[in-house]
Structure 1
Amino acid sequence: MSLAETLEKPAFDQSARAGTATASAARRRTRRRGASSPTPLGSVLLGLSFPFALLLVWWWAARLGLVPEQILPAPSTIYETVSSLLADGSLATHLEVSTHRVLVGFGLGALFGLVFGAAAGLSPTVRAFLYPPVQAVARVNVLAWMPLLTLFMGIDEPLKYVVIGWSAAIPIILGTARGIENVSPAFRELGRVLHFNTRDTLRLVVLPGAVPSIFAGLREGLANAWQTLVLAELFASFEGLGYLMTWGRQLFQLDLVIIAMIVVALAGLAMDLGLRWVERRAQPWKRGTRDVH
Structure 2
Amino acid sequence: MAAIAAVDAAALEASSSVSRLPWRRIGDTALPWLLPLSLLALWTTGAAQGWISPQVLPSPQFVWDTLRDLATSGDLWLHTSASLARVGLGFLAGAALGLLLGAAMGLSRQVEAYVLPTFNALVQIPVLAWLPFVLLLVGIGEPLKYILIAKAAMVPVALNTLQGFRQTPVGLREVGEVYGFSRRQQVLEIVLPHAMPTLFTGLRLGFTKAWLSLVVVELVASSEGLGYLIVYGRQLFQLDLVMAAVVVVGGIGYLIDRLLDALETAVKRRQPGGAR
Give the Å deviation of 1:190: 2.4
Give the Å deviation of 1:38: 4.8
Q: In the alignment, does 2:263 pair up with 1:278? A: yes
In structure 2, what is the equivalent of residue 9 of structure 1?
none
| Distance in structure 1 (CA, Å) of the matches to 2:228 and 2:199 | 32
Structure 1 portions without partners, runs of 5+ = 1-20
In structure 2, what is the equivalent of residue 254 of structure 1?
239
Native 8 Å contact 1:97 1:240 kept in 2: yes
Instruction: Compute the TM-score of the two structures, normalised by the length of structure 2.
Output: 0.88
Instruction: Compute the TM-score of the two structures, normalised by the length of structure 1.
Output: 0.83
Instruction: State which of 17, 23, 30 in structure 2 corresponds to 1:45.
Output: 30
Q: In the alignment, does 2:61 pair up with 1:76? A: yes
* Identity between Structure 1 and Structure 2 (%): 39
Match runs of 1:143-182 below 5 Å: 143-182=128-167
Provide Cα deviations, 1:48-94, integer angstroms capped at 9, x if missing partner: 33222221111111111111111110111111111211111101111
In structure 1, what is the equivalent of residue 123 of structure 2?
138
In structure 2, what is the equivalent of residue 113 of structure 1?
98
Q: Which amino acid aligns with 1:101?
A: R
| Distance in structure 1 (CA, Å) of the matches to 2:272 and 2:63 | 41
Native 8 Å contact 2:156 2:203 kept in 1: yes
Provide Cα deviations, 1:226-284, integer angstroms capped at 9, x if missing partner: 11001100111010000001011111111111111111111111111111122122212
Instruction: State which of 16, 21, 44 in structure 2 corresponds to 1:59.
Output: 44
Native 8 Å contact 1:117 1:176 kept in 2: yes
- Bigger Cα Rg: 1
RMSD: 2.4
Native 8 Å contact 2:91 2:153 kept in 1: yes
| Distance in structure 2 (CA, Å) of the matches to 1:35 and 1:259 | 38
Structure 2 portions without partners, runs of 5+ = 1-6
Q: In the alignment, does 2:198 pair up with 1:234? A: no
| Distance in structure 2 (CA, Å) of the matches to 1:89 and 1:127 | 49
Native 8 Å contact 2:269 2:275 kept in 1: no
When structure 1 is superposed on structure 2, of 100-109 and 280-289 the one drifting more is 280-289
Cα gap change, 1:195/1:109 in structure 2, threshold over 3 Å: closer, same or farther?
Answer: same
Matched positions, count = 263
Instruction: State which of 249, 269, 274 in structure 2 corresponds to 1:264.
Output: 249
Q: Which amino acid aligns with 1:185?
A: V
Provide Cα deviations, 1:109-148, integer angstroms capped at 9, x if missing partner: 0110001110110011111111211111111112101101
Native 8 Å contact 1:280 1:287 kept in 2: no
| Distance in structure 1 (CA, Å) of the matches to 2:31 and 2:274 | 25
Provide Cα deviations, 1:13-34, integer angstroms capped at 9, x if missing partner: xxxxxxxx9xx9xxx7xx68x9
